[in-house]
Amino acid sequence: MSSIVLETRGLTKHYGGVQALNDADVILHEGEHIAIVGDNGAGKSTFVRNITGVERPTAGQMLFGGELVDFHSPLEAREAGIETVYQNLALADHLDVPANIFLGREEYHFRLGPLSWLNKRKMRSESERLLAQTGIKIPDLSQLLMGMSGGQRQCVAISRAAGWGSKLIIMDEPTAALGVQETTRVETIIRGLKDKGIPVILVSHNLRQVFKLVDRILVFRQGRIVGSLDAQETDGNAVVSLITGLDQGVHENASYI
Ligand SMILES: Nc1ncnc2c1ncn2[C@@H]1O[C@H](COP(=O)(O)OP(=O)(O)O)[C@@H](O)[C@H]1O
Ligand SMILES: [Mg+2]
């Protein structure tokens, strides 16, 4: 078995009386792509927020690259090599593509408060290189993000995530707001990450997408992990049964398929 990138032990998050996540034990291996599926409110985003430093867990532990970690902020998770892409794109609308890719990692000729001088040329050429790696075509990099389609914006977000030598990329419903073509584009990028050996955790409602892309499917239900299935050895019915907690013969819920 290849080495373990991420491991959570008993990861738990309660919001007052709401037990959003209970005792999540997850192991992700080097190069592995896993999906997290589950009904609305199952705890998927809570899991993501608690491994990426957005929130602190109520209980449990997390190991990253074999070391115990305890991220106090998303920045700490990023610095450790965990990049996250959300459905609601965390991009700056009023900035252009290079400025977004370098958000929080700006390159300077020199840095002295208001006298700082951004190295725009370097940021631009680096951005071109990153976008080329992911196969994304954006005709004019100096275009502001607010003028771009959802798909282009999401591609910028994923390039940013993929481009920093990240050790793990987490995507929470990355295509939920996208059209068919844009979704295909993002799926191609995710496949590229697989080829590069970068592990991915993909939260998705779209089971077709999940079966196309990942090695393993984790099913969350009411804050618990109720299944870990090899994508090659299971099918949509089995996954839907676990999502709903009902036998497929009794409960047909086509909206998941
Ligand atoms: N900040 C919060 N405060 C209180 N309850 C929350 C908060 N965030 C999420 N929850 C609750 O936790 C549960 C899990 O939510 P979430 O992780 O967003 O589910 P999913 O992403 O699977 O749809 C839900 O019952 C949700 O209402
Ligand atoms: Mg969610």
**Is the CB of residue 43 below 6 angstroms from any atom belonging to ligand 1?**
yes
Task: Supply the pLDDT for residue 1.
Answer: 55
Sheet holding 67-69, edge to edge: 18-29, 4-15, 59-64, 67-69
In a domain, 156, yes or no: no
Task: Supply the pLDDT for residue 249.
Answer: 53
**φ and ψ of 97, to 5 deg:** -65, -50
Residue 162 DSSP label: H
**Is the CB of residue 13 below 6 angstroms from any atom belonging to ligand 1?**
no
Closest ligand to residue 46's CA: 1
Strands 168-172 and 117-118: unpaired
Our count of domains for the chain comes to 1
Ligand 2 centre distance from Cα of residue 42 (Å): 8
In a domain, 142, yes or no: no
Structural domain range at position 201: 4-88+166-256
CA atoms within 13 A on the CB side of 143: 13
In a domain, 148, yes or no: no
Pocket test for ligand 1, best of 11, 12, 13, 18 (most atoms within 8 A of CB): 18
**Is the CB of residue 22 below 6 angstroms from any atom belonging to ligand 1?**
no
In a domain, 192, yes or no: yes
Sign of CA dihedral 51, 53, 57, 61: positive
pLDDT tens-digit series, residues 170-223: 999 988 878 888 888 889 889 989 998 999 999 998 999 999 999 999 999 999
pLDDT tens-digit series, residues 114-167: 666 778 888 888 888 888 776 677 788 888 888 888 778 887 888 788 777 689
Ligand 1 centre distance from Cα of residue 41 (Å): 5
In a domain, 221, yes or no: yes
Q: What is the pTM of this model?
A: 0.86
In a domain, 79, yes or no: yes
Q: What is the mean pLDDT of the chain?
A: 87
- DSSP-H helix ranges across 119-225: 120-134, 150-162, 180-195, 207-213
Give 3-state DSSP helix, strand, coil % of the chain, rounded to 5. Answer: 35, 30, 35
- Domain of 32, CATH number, reads 3.40.50.300
Sign of CA dihedral 64, 65, 66, 67: negative
In a domain, 123, yes or no: no
| Residues 216, 34 contacting (CB under 8 angstroms) | yes
In a domain, 118, yes or no: no
Ligand 1 centre distance from Cα of residue 173 (Å): 15
Strands 67-69 and 59-64: antiparallel
Nearest CA to ligand 1 atom 19: 41
